[in-house]
Amino acid sequence: MSKSVLRGLRAAALTGTLVLGSPLGSHLALAAENPIKLGVLEDQSGDFAAATIGKVHAIQLAAEEINKAGGIMGRPLELVAYDTQSDNTRYQEFMRRVLQRDKVDVVFAGFSSASREAYRPIVDQFNGFAFYNNQYEGGVCDGHMIVTGAVPEQQFSTLIPYMMEKYGKNVYTLAADYNFGQISAEWVRKIVKENGGKMAGEEFIPLGVSQFSQSIQNIQKAKPDFVVTLLVGTAQASYYEQAASANVNLPMASSVNVGQGYEHKRFKPPSLKDMFVTTNYIEEIDSPKSKEFYAKFKAKFPSEPYVNQEAENSYLAVYLYKQMVERAKSTKREEIRKVIALGDVCMDAPEGKVCIDPKSQHMSHTIYLAKVGADHSISFPKVWEDIKPYWLGEAGCDLTKKDPMAQYTPSNPPPKP
């Protein structure tokens, strides 16, 4: 008996902490109705926390706004959040827990591509529904997933040709050594070749490495015109400080830095001078929509160090989910996918207009080219509007017809029918 009582107490204690994120106090009457449960699995501690705590806050902000305005179809949104600690096995554990025990309607999960590939088979296995609100190396063709982050045809097909035209055709890639870095480097190689350039060199850095003297020397030896830095996690960000103090003085291009880890705020100028990043959102974007979002974010979380790309992706994802549920009149994945198949799930996000592509269930984006100046101020030399996530669809992924639940790369494209 005592055991079951204890278990009950523990469950009560757990749920007590879990609903902390939702503004339950002021909406007790609303919460008494059957809530829509949204699982949030993001890294709130560990090596990736700097870039991802803002994602959790963005989801909390959107949920609070939606609940204040009456919820989704009159049902309140309840967050079930766990800290995945930048650890892939935690993702698997908690993904099973939210799907099996908490029985959430949808899960927003994941920063690193390694974590995503760790939990994705579990979502497929338990027939769940997950949003990956993060830029990544592209290629996930899985009907159980919606990806709101930017992909290589949005970030590299814009960035690399711009850099090659401006600085020259010799390119060096310094990338994190796991699936994200390896596949992204493959994209860079492909785009450099298509544009008549040449790879001066490539190096892959294990996650957690913080000392770069030798890598810096390798880069100086290869004499590239610019360096593509695809460094992930806080330890690897030490590269910029060390490269600057060794006076490498080369322009840099990236799809992940600044937009996620706000390195230009963390390091002393001018260590990120001449860094070019393609991102679909950062807090410096000077449009009314962006300013409004930034103001709301800062009002709720005044000590937030930076409102990054993935925070915006997470925020807009909650609203997209709301729209899809309301149009489908259901939280069932198959009903929602019928709405996506119509091809007109769009919204005015802080970055601009975004739409979900029915073939790949990825999202179109406004892509901003952010340049870091010598004083670490941000300017936007170029903006590309409405860049579609076209690669998967053109390569042969069509989720409206067939769901292969697989990830593809340029060297491993979908099988031709």
Partner 1 sequence: MDIATHVFSALYQFGDAFAFLVLSACGLAVIFGMMGVINLAHGEFIMCGAYVTAATVHAGLPLPLGILAGTLVSALVGVVVELAVIRHLYDRPLDTIVATWGLSLIATQGTLIMVGSTMAGVGTPFGSFQVGDYSYSIYRIVLFCAALGVLAALYALFNWTRFGVLARATIQVPHMAAALGVDTRLVYSLTFACGAGLAGLAGGLYAPTMTLVPTMGATFIMEAFVTVVIGGADVFLGTAPAGGVLAVVKSVMTSWQGQLFGQIGLLVAVIIVVRVLPKGISGFVLRERT
Residues of this chain that bind partner 1 (CB under 8 A)? 45-47, 49-50, 53, 177, 203-206, 208-211, 213-215, 217-218, 220-221, 234-235, 237-238, 241-242, 244-248, 265-268, 271, 303, 305
CA distance 306 to 253: 20
Nearest to 395 by CA among 370, 367, 373, 414: 414
Q: How far apart are CA 143 and CA 128, in angstroms?
A: 10
Question: Nearest distance from residue 304's CB to partner 1, in Å?
Answer: 9
| Least distance CB 267 / partner 1 (angstroms) | 5
Comparison of 43 and 312: residue with beta carbon closer to partner 1? 43
Contact 11, 52 (CB under 8 A): no
Residue with tokens 């292969």: 404
Q: Which is nearer to partner 1, 2 or 214 (CB)?
A: 214
- Nearest CA to 183 among 227, 222, 148, 232? 232
Query: Three-state SS for 9?
Result: helix
In this complex, which beta carbon is closest to partner 1, that of residue 17 or of residue 214?
A: 214
Closest CA to 389 of 161, 213, 183, 155: 155
Q: Name 391's bridge partners.
A: none
Provide, rounded to whole angstroms, the least separation between the CB of residue 260 and partner 1. Answer: 12
In 3-state terms, what secondary structure has residue 390? Answer: helix
Select 237 or 370, whichever has its Cβ closest to partner 1. Answer: 237
**Which residue lies nearer to partner 1 by CB, 160 or 205?**
205
CA separation for the pair 392, 28 (Å, rounded)? 44
Tell me how far, at minimum, the Cβ of 271 lies from partner 1, in Å. 7
State the nearest-atom distance from the C-beta of 180 to partner 1, in Å.
16
Q: Closest CB to partner 1 among 59 and 122?
A: 59
Q: How far is the CB of 368 from partner 1 (least distance, A)?
A: 23
- What phi and psi values does residue 299 have, to the nearest 5 degrees? -65, -40
